[in-house]
Structure 1
Amino acid sequence: MQSFLLAVWRIAASDLALLRRFPRYALAVLAIAVVPALYALIYLTSVWDPNANTHALPVAIVNLDAGVQYRGRAVDVGEQLTRGLVASSRFGFRTMPDAAAARLAVRRGELAFAIVIPSDFSANAVPGVQAGAGKVTVILSEGNNYASAGFARRFAEDLGHQANEILNEQRWAQVLEIADGSGRSLQNLRAGIAQLHSGLQELETDLGRRNTELTQLSSGVRQAGVELRRIDDAWPPQADLKQLRSGTQRLATRQREVAQGIEQIRGGAARVGDGTAALQAHVVALGEPVAPSAATEGGAVLPGAADLAAGKVQLQEGLVAIAESNSRMGQGLGRFDTNLGRLVDGVAVAGEGLHAVVARLPAPASLDAVPASGKALVEATARLRFGVEMAGSMLPAPAGKPDGSARGLADSVEPALEVLAPVANNGSAFAPNMVAMALWLGAVMIVYVFAMQNLGEQHAGASRLTRTLGKFLVPAATALVQVVLILWMLVVGLGVATPDLPSFAATMLVAAWAFLAIVHLLVRAFGEAGKLLAVLLLTLQLAAGGGVLPIELSGDLFRALHAWLPFTWAVRALRASLFGAFDNGWWQAWSVLAGIGCVALLASAFVGRWTSVAEADDRPPLNV
């Protein structure tokens, strides 16, 4: 074993002697040791954290929205959206008044992209009649910069979400307002239905009682109708009443005639009295009678005249009494005539009213239907009460106003990301892929500066494995320097967090040596063409190694080759050691990568042919 190691060292010492003999060659080797670190540094610096610099990306906002009057409210979603975007400072937003100018600026590359809010945006978006009615145009140019176009595409989705969030917040505000009023209205409706049900129940009970009373009333009305019709039939006609009035008037006329006769009698009695008095005076004036017969007659006349005068007085007194009685009778007849006129008029009016009442009395058949109608009304009231009760039971329970605010209800879901293998930034995420590519590039550069097929004549007797290990030792040391410089660049230069620095360093070292062994195998097997194959293999591994995109998104060929490529296991081991990815399974990937390197190094010992070179003729492959 000691002799084997000594033989390996002797071959490696020959390569070290070249570095001492040719200082420029040593500088070239040092340069290729630095180049991978510089390459990784330049690339990672450029993509270190692009999201932190998006505010420098120029983006125009053209707000042409005219707003809309919706349900008594002025809504201008375009203005709200513009204010929100400018305040977010997510990109370098600037407002422009003209859509054509913004489109031209994007076409010229002066803007990363532009956002055009049309004049009818609010009018179409606020009512929400159909999905996607509100259109916001994002103008981008993929040819100018595909990455900027990617930002624009992702931003377009966020923009739609933000616009919908604004609209939903306003809609939820209205919903909450309506729900609050609807809740109160529903409570009032339930209370009203309860009161209506209670009232109908009382009405049904009262109608039951009233129906009995109504039956009695209809019977009474029927009897009253019969009596009223009988009275109406027996009511004196107008002609009889007129005759009664005219008879009274004739009686008054006859009374006046009697009064006139009494006056005439009184006048006649007065004349009789006057004649009697004259007769008495004449008899007295005669004195002594002329003849006895005359005296006898005179004596007889005087007593008769006296009786006649006394009778005249009595007659006058009687006539006075009769006149007074007749006068009183006339006054009574006058009052009787007046009252009788009123009575006749009243009886006539009463007759007309009675006739009208009788005419309006319901027919007996209608009165017979009243009890049935009352019963039907009670039954209808019962059915109505039952319907109201059913309607009340079908009303939903008061749900009340939804909890939360309009803002919370409009955007109530926010995904919570549970990051199992956190990565600090975009540059750190690219580091495993970039380190693997830099190490492969370093391996390719190493085989360009070291003559991997040349062997000094003094080592011609060494075994194949001894030759291979001896020629691999100095390039491997160069790869070690590359690893150290890349590691220093990552940890010190870029500040990449390395939770497990030893495993990360070990992974880089094994990856560098495995890549170098593979490239060494290609050169041993194919000569100078092997170097070209190494570059092509790098390209294939970048496509199929899953370093940038998930391998599931690649084609079938790349998915089939993925597990057989050393790049795959190098990136996997670097991610596991740097981020704790793949359940911290860096050891498995590291073992596979180490196995690939050992197999490649062992295979390179048995392929290709060695070129023997005299020690004095041994020269670097580079013209230095």
Structure 2
Amino acid sequence: MNPFRLAASELRRLTSSRMARLGVIALALIPTLYAGLYLYANHDPYAALSQVPAAVASDDRGATLDGGERLDAGSSVADKLVDSKSFAWHHVSSAEALAGVYDGTYSFAVVIPESFSADLAATGDFTPRKAEVILETNDANNYMTTMMGNTVIKEVRASVASQVSETAADRLLVGFTRIHDELGAAVDGAEKLRSGLADADSGAAKAQQGAQSLASGLHQLSVGAAKLDDGLGQAVSGADRLHTGASSLASGLGTLQSRTASLPAQTERLADGAAQVAAGNKRIAVIGDRVAGISTDLRAKVGAERDPLVAQLRAAGLDDTQIALVQARLDRVDSLVVQADGKVQQASSDLDRLATGAGQVATGARALADATPALTGGISDAADGARRLRDGSASLESGLRTLDAGAGQLSRGAASAATGGDSLASGIGQLKAGLDKLASGEAELHSELAKGRDAVPNPTDAQRTSVAKTIGDPVTVQPDSLATAGTYGAGLAPFFVSLALWIGAYVLFLLVRPLSTRALATSQRSVRTALGGWLAPVAIGLVQSVVLFGIVALALDLPVAHPLLVVLFVGFVSLTFVAILHALAARLGAVGKFLGLVFMVVQLVSAGGTFPWQTLPAPLQAVHHVVPMTYAIDGLRRLMYGADLAPVLLDLGVLAGFLVAALTVSTIAARRFRVWTPKRIKPELSL
């Protein structure tokens, strides 16, 4: 008897009655019910998130930026969430939102605090604070809503960060424009400074020349004042002698008057003395005239130098305050010179009158000597004149002493002014040197400012807007997938189809006998017995595969890139799984069926059907590479999503290895069970 006849015999046994046929049909539909219902329930849950109730509350008070713009980021975020319709958003108060999450009215809530906009605006004051968004969740509602809420918060954070970055970048670029404009104004100012420094340097040169001329004139004034002081000293000495002589004259005339009797003898001596006095007075008068001439010249020179000096100082760039200070000093000097000149002129006039009087006295004395008889009558008049001369010489001496004191002050003031003129000339020279250095530094400043202005960006409004948007959102994601599942259900389909085929193969052996008892009792070859026991459930498994594919591809409308290849691959997977469970059941009986269930659980957690297998613990990662469901899932993914099909050959090779190994174990079991033992006749455990 060949394996096909054995399989047909087992199928006839399984369909011998109506109830048995219904059982076979149920077995054929179990994978479809398991995978179909699960994939139907989870076909595209993300598309229905708009039905999940969520709350958003904004307590944000807003903020005012430096430029006066109003920032209401909280209201903007809340409105965008509501408009997005990503969930069934409800814009409520914060109290209502928290109460709703607590009692289950809302799955989660997003609460925006009062200081949200103010914290965002704080970056403009260089006192940055992170703005907070409160995500209120309640895992008692559903754990997945917490994960969804975290995703929403990430999107809100990215949106706000983009908006804040765009605003900050725009303000930064506006700052660049302002800096560029200010640097341009600074360059223009440096150009004007250069022109002003050139004028100042020219004025300083003229001022230096004027200061040097002033210093020279002041030195001459100092020399003339010193000479005047010396001359007035000599005049004081002469006046003192004149006063002494006048006093003697007055005394002599008094004596003459009292001693008229001796007049003839004394007139000769009087005439000689009068002649000497006249000569001395004449010399003093000459000196007084010379002093008066020098004083007149000095006064004329000081007056003549005043206006040119003021003009030169004004041309040199001195302001009105400084010129007024110099004029005040010149006024003082001019006043002293005028006073001294007046006194000198008065003294000169007195000396001239004194000289004339002395001459007349000498003439009179001589006439008196010559005309002694006539002198007696005039002795009284001469005595009076001598007394007046004595008093006048005393006044002359006093005036000359005052003039001498003024001349000393004039000399000292002129010397001080000369020293000040030298200091002024030196200071203006230093000023000119400093202006030269300043002009050199200004040229470098102008050059560097121009370079800085050209280096600072000056974007237009359109450029600034474009750059700010790019900085705020610098990365654009261009989705590109080599293979796309499309929906959540399609992504899980390979895993649940493989798991359903395993479950379908597992439940087959609740009714199907792994090995034919009749064949074991004969001399039938073990390999034929094993194949016969395998082919019967394979037939039902193939039906399971076809029905399951029809439901997945047609009823659930999941995308399938290679339909024919998927059907063939699913059928091959079913053959392999049936062979593995057949081997376990044939070799170990009830224990083998239990191990098949355990093996399913191990593959369920290690095959990597949901999360990437790299996320598994290390022991399960090792198991991942040696279980058949790993390769069934990988092959289905590539055939359904349209990826590179080359790895499918490896999947088929590994599954074929499991198939051959399982059939080998089944053959060994058939050979072993040809020998009947009491334990086989009455097993300890039966399923």
Provide, for residues 556-615 of structure 1, a one-character-per-residue CA deviation record: whole Å limited to 9, x for no partner. 1111111111111111111111223467522222222222222222222213754899xx
After superposition, the Cα gap between the structure-2 partners of 1:461 and 1:185, relative to the gap in structure 1 and judged at 3 Å, is same
- Retained in 1: the 8 A contact 2:218–2:418? no
CA shift for structure 1 position 233? 6.8
After superposition, the Cα gap between the structure-2 partners of 1:220 and 1:525, relative to the gap in structure 1 and judged at 3 Å, is farther
The CA distance in 2 between the partners of 1:582 and 1:53, in whole Å, is 32
- Retained in 1: the 8 A contact 2:56–2:110? yes
After superposition, the Cα gap between the structure-2 partners of 1:393 and 1:239, relative to the gap in structure 1 and judged at 3 Å, is closer
User: Which letter maps to 2:419?
Assistant: A
- Structure 1 counterpart of 2:534, from 472, 484, 498: 472
- Retained in 2: the 8 A contact 1:11–1:459? no
- Structure 1 counterpart of 2:61, from 40, 43, 66: 66
The CA distance in 2 between the partners of 1:67 and 1:54, in whole Å, is 30
The CA distance in 2 between the partners of 1:32 and 1:562, in whole Å, is 28
Aligned to 1:236: 342
1:188-337 alignment, distance < 5 Å: 188-201=185-198, 203-204=200-201, 207-208=204-205, 210-220=207-217, 222-223=219-220, 227=298, 228=302, 231-232=337-338, 234-237=340-343, 240=346
Aligned to 1:426: 488
The CA distance in 2 between the partners of 1:199 and 1:459, in whole Å, is 126
- Retained in 1: the 8 A contact 2:62–2:72? yes
Based on CA coordinates, which of the two structures has the bigger radius of gyration? Answer: 1
The CA distance in 2 between the partners of 1:119 and 1:476, in whole Å, is 68
After superposition, the Cα gap between the structure-2 partners of 1:231 and 1:486, relative to the gap in structure 1 and judged at 3 Å, is same
- Retained in 1: the 8 A contact 2:112–2:132? yes
Structure 2 residue matching 1:541: 3-state secondary structure = helix
1:436-475 alignment, distance < 5 Å: 436-457=498-519, 460-475=522-537
After superposition, the Cα gap between the structure-2 partners of 1:371 and 1:496, relative to the gap in structure 1 and judged at 3 Å, is same
- Structure 1 counterpart of 2:562, from 474, 479, 500: 500
CA shift for structure 1 position 212? 4.0
**Aligned: 1:186 with 2:183:** yes
- Retained in 1: the 8 A contact 2:515–2:529? no
* 8-17 or 183-192, larger mean C-alpha shift: 183-192
**Aligned: 1:154 with 2:130:** no
The CA distance in 2 between the partners of 1:483 and 1:41, in whole Å, is 12
- Structure 2 counterpart of 1:84, from 74, 80, 83: 80
After superposition, the Cα gap between the structure-2 partners of 1:220 and 1:120, relative to the gap in structure 1 and judged at 3 Å, is same
After superposition, the Cα gap between the structure-2 partners of 1:586 and 1:374, relative to the gap in structure 1 and judged at 3 Å, is same
Aligned to 1:377: 431
CA shift for structure 1 position 74? 2.7
User: Which letter maps to 2:478?
Assistant: A
The CA distance in 2 between the partners of 1:386 and 1:522, in whole Å, is 101
CA shift for structure 1 position 553? 1.1
CA shift for structure 1 position 149? 1.3
Provide, for residues 173-222 of structure 1, a one-character-per-residue CA deviation record: whole Å limited to 9, x for no partner. 43343333232222222332344345435544654465345434443454
The CA distance in 2 between the partners of 1:531 and 1:20, in whole Å, is 23
Structure 2 residue matching 1:114: 3-state secondary structure = strand
User: Which letter maps to 1:40?
Assistant: A
After superposition, the Cα gap between the structure-2 partners of 1:222 and 1:146, relative to the gap in structure 1 and judged at 3 Å, is same
CA shift for structure 1 position 490? 1.9
1:342-361 alignment, distance < 5 Å: none
Structure 2 residue matching 1:363: 3-state secondary structure = helix
**Aligned: 1:138 with 2:135:** yes
For the aligned residues, what is the CA RMSD? Answer: 3.2
Aligned to 1:23: 18
CA shift for structure 1 position 240? 5.0
Aligned to 1:259: none
The CA distance in 2 between the partners of 1:473 and 1:605, in whole Å, is 13
After superposition, the Cα gap between the structure-2 partners of 1:461 and 1:217, relative to the gap in structure 1 and judged at 3 Å, is farther
The CA distance in 1 between the partners of 2:2 and 2:640, in whole Å, is 38
- Retained in 2: the 8 A contact 1:62–1:116? yes
- Retained in 2: the 8 A contact 1:455–1:612? no
Aligned to 1:562: 624
The CA distance in 1 between the partners of 2:428 and 2:145, in whole Å, is 86
User: Which letter maps to 2:603?
Assistant: Q
Provide, for residues 433-487 of structure 1, a one-character-per-residue CA deviation record: whole Å limited to 9, x for no partner. 1111111111111122212144225863222211111111121111111111111
Q: Percent identity?
A: 25
- Structure 2 counterpart of 1:412, from 464, 469, 474: 474
- Retained in 2: the 8 A contact 1:457–1:612? no
- Retained in 1: the 8 A contact 2:176–2:457? no
- Retained in 1: the 8 A contact 2:170–2:464? no
**Aligned: 1:400 with 2:454:** no
- Structure 1 counterpart of 2:161, from 159, 164, 167: 164
Aligned to 1:37: 32
After superposition, the Cα gap between the structure-2 partners of 1:195 and 1:418, relative to the gap in structure 1 and judged at 3 Å, is farther
The CA distance in 1 between the partners of 2:585 and 2:23, in whole Å, is 20
* 576-585 or 594-603, larger mean C-alpha shift: 576-585
User: Which letter maps to 1:434?
Assistant: F
CA shift for structure 1 position 386? 3.5
The CA distance in 1 between the partners of 2:411 and 2:111, in whole Å, is 86
- Retained in 1: the 8 A contact 2:583–2:665? yes
- Retained in 2: the 8 A contact 1:77–1:166? no
- Retained in 2: the 8 A contact 1:523–1:531? yes
The CA distance in 1 between the partners of 2:85 and 2:129, in whole Å, is 26
TM-score (norm. length: structure 2): 0.67
CA shift for structure 1 position 236? 0.8
User: Which letter maps to 1:235?
Assistant: D
- Retained in 1: the 8 A contact 2:581–2:593? yes
Aligned to 2:264: none
CA shift for structure 1 position 534? 1.6
- Retained in 1: the 8 A contact 2:521–2:674? no
After superposition, the Cα gap between the structure-2 partners of 1:19 and 1:384, relative to the gap in structure 1 and judged at 3 Å, is same
- Retained in 2: the 8 A contact 1:433–1:548? yes
Aligned to 2:94: 98
Aligned to 2:636: 574
After superposition, the Cα gap between the structure-2 partners of 1:201 and 1:90, relative to the gap in structure 1 and judged at 3 Å, is farther
**Aligned: 1:600 with 2:662:** yes
After superposition, the Cα gap between the structure-2 partners of 1:424 and 1:216, relative to the gap in structure 1 and judged at 3 Å, is same
After superposition, the Cα gap between the structure-2 partners of 1:467 and 1:407, relative to the gap in structure 1 and judged at 3 Å, is same
Aligned to 1:591: 653
**Aligned: 1:7 with 2:27:** no
User: Which letter maps to 1:116?
Assistant: V
Aligned to 1:527: 589
Q: For structure 2, which runs of at least 5 residues remain unmatched after alignment?
A: 225-297, 303-332, 354-405, 677-687
- Retained in 2: the 8 A contact 1:577–1:584? no
* 52-61 or 23-32, larger mean C-alpha shift: 23-32
Provide, for residues 90-143 of structure 1, a one-character-per-residue CA deviation record: whole Å limited to 9, x for no partner. 1111011133x3223223322110011112222223213666631111011223
User: Which letter maps to 2:432?
Assistant: V
Aligned to 2:274: none
Aligned to 1:281: none
* 205-214 or 130-139, larger mean C-alpha shift: 205-214
Q: How many residues get paired?
A: 498
Structure 1 residue matching 2:475: 3-state secondary structure = coil
The CA distance in 2 between the partners of 1:458 and 1:548, in whole Å, is 43
User: Which letter maps to 2:527?
Assistant: L
- Retained in 1: the 8 A contact 2:211–2:421? no
Structure 1 residue matching 2:510: 3-state secondary structure = helix
The CA distance in 2 between the partners of 1:62 and 1:357, in whole Å, is 95
- Retained in 1: the 8 A contact 2:495–2:610? yes
Structure 2 residue matching 1:127: 3-state secondary structure = helix
Provide, for residues 386-425 of structure 1, a one-character-per-residue CA deviation record: whole Å limited to 9, x for no partner. 4334444544313113644344432222233332222212
